[in-house]
Structures are given as structure tokens and as C-alpha cells.
A = this chain, B = another copy of it.
Amino acid sequence: MERPRTIRRDDGLWLLQRMRLIRQASERIARLYPTDVMETPVHLCIGQEAVAVGVCRHLTDADKLFLGHRTHGPALAKGLPLPKLMAELYGRSTGCSHAFGGSMHLIDLEHGLPGSSAIVGGSIALGVGAGLASKLAGADFVGVSWFGDAATNAGVFHESLNFAALQRLPVLFVCEDNGYSNVMPKSAHAAFDIPSLADEYMTTMTADGTDVLAVHEQAGEALAQIRSGGGPVFLHCPTKRWMKHQGHERCDIVGNGIDEQRDCPIRKLERVLLDTHLCGAGELEQVRLSVEQQIDAAIAFAESSPFPTPAQLEVV
């Protein structure tokens, strides 16, 4: 039972632009990475862009998003300017974390990104804390906890869901389930079914994490429920990781079963936009080109930015 695939033009274009921004920036990073200009690990999310972009379309700058190690996609989707990301990867003072954070520790206070963490699981609790702050302050922002399938192994996952549910906090849990923890498949790291377990605590929804329209629709429903005081919601998004866990190479895990034509969230959306005559092929190409220019500019910015100085290690 296929639903009719429709979307407003402004939404559709936004989703496409942000997905392209993430994809093309990631491809560029992958191309540059072997040259060692970026002295920091990179966890790319090529193939997973739909999750970040579909959810973030519904978030405001006031909503607080807490990320783990796979940061680039959701950070850009939330609004982190690309030059600040690139400068951070290049270890320059103009980076979003002033070169102190690196790839796994991105921040953008203006756009509701109060930081991200490289210790798997812990940041789930931080999103819950944002939800608690919203509730106690009588504010209307939402806390968003963003994590992968294997973060559900960690005890803090269980503790965080329990507390959010007990307190009926305005929190969206987004599980970007790419089926792997590094090279370990889900069957080896989780004895439970993730959405089924989550459902023991709270309303749980699932959306195909390679289909931005599906994510966009479910995230919209989830956030509407949360914002209307309905308590936390768990959004489970099965998706596919095309790259190795870390670094610039495509992943070669046997049985990964990725078909870059069929599984590509960008191609899927472009097809809908074309089929529903919201955009023409020329316009799509225009999006790609304009993103490419943004990337060139961001890299130029990073490359021309100053490095920090050792004197900055002085303790404040």
C-alpha cells in the first residue's frame, strides 16, 4: 500500500538542498581526507542523509539537538554553517569549536546545537535534560537525542528513556539505525528489537531512513505530539551506511547489500520532485552546482583561516 508521494515545493527544495549539502560535503571530505589536511577522525553519513534532513526540517533554532560521534549530517541539517564545520575539520580557530573539538565535537549555539559527544550513548541523556529544562521553565522548545542503533546497547539509553517517560518530557529520540556498530551487525549487539523495546516506554514510530519524505512525515507527527504535551516519542529510522565506520572509504562488509541507485535518499527525492513536476531536471542540477560552490567557498575559508596557537592551552 504505497502512499502518494507528495510534498510542498518549499519543503521539497529545502530537503533536497540540505541532503545535497551533506552528501556533497561528505564526498569532498572523503576526497581530501587522504591528504591529511584534516587531522581528526571523520564519521561520514553518506546514504543516511534522509534522517537528519527529514527530522531537522521540523526543528526550530530553539530546539536543542544533542549528537554523538556521527555529527556532520545532523549538524548541517540543524543549521551549522558549512564553513564553520570545514574550518573545524581543518583544525582552524574559525571552526565552530575553535579547533578544540574536531569532527566529533561540533557546537552551534545560535542554531540549537549545544554540543556533541564521542562517547557512545551519553548524549542521549543530554537531550532529555533539554526536555526537562523546557518543562521546568515553561518553555516550548523540544530536546532531541540523536544516536545510532548500537547506542541502544548502553545502559544510559535505558535510563534516559525511562526518565523521559516518567516525567513525560518534550523529547524526541531519533535512532539512526544503520544496522552496524563499526563492523558488528545488529544481530550481534542487540538481543532485542529496537522499536519494540522503545515501545515499552513510550510512543514509538518507524520511518524508512533512506526515504526523506517518510522521515519528514513521521517526524512531523512525532513532534506535533510532543509539542502538544503528549510526552516523549521514539522515532526509529532504519537506514544504510555506505562508508566505513570511520574514514574516507566505501564499506566492503559482505552482505551490506547496498544498491547506490535504489537506496539513495537523494535520488529517491529527486524522482518524486520530477514525477510530481515540482522541479525540472535543470533546477535539480542547479541545486547540485550551487551546493558545490558553497563547498568550494567553505574550503577556501577553512584553508585561509589561522591555526590556534599553543598559548591557547593556558588554563582559563
Q: Which residues of A contact B (CB under 8 A)?
A: 153-159, 161-163, 165-166, 188-193, 196-197, 200-202
Contacts and interface: CB of A to CB of B under 8 A. Distances in A.
A161 B189 CA distance: 12
A159 B155 contact: yes
Nearest to A199: B200
Q: For the complex formed by this chain, how many copies does it contain in all?
A: 2
A188 B166 contact: yes
Contacts of A197: 197, 200
Contacts of A157: 155, 158
A157 B159 CA distance: 10
A159 B121 CA distance: 12
10 contacts: A153-B159, A154-B159, A155-B155, A155-B157, A155-B159, A162-B190, A165-B191, A166-B190, A191-B202, A192-B201
Given A166-B189, A192-B201, 9 more contacts: A153-B159, A153-B162, A154-B159, A155-B156, A158-B158, A166-B191, A191-B202, A196-B200, A197-B200
A196 B191 CA distance: 15
Contacts of A190: 162, 166
B200 A192 contact: yes
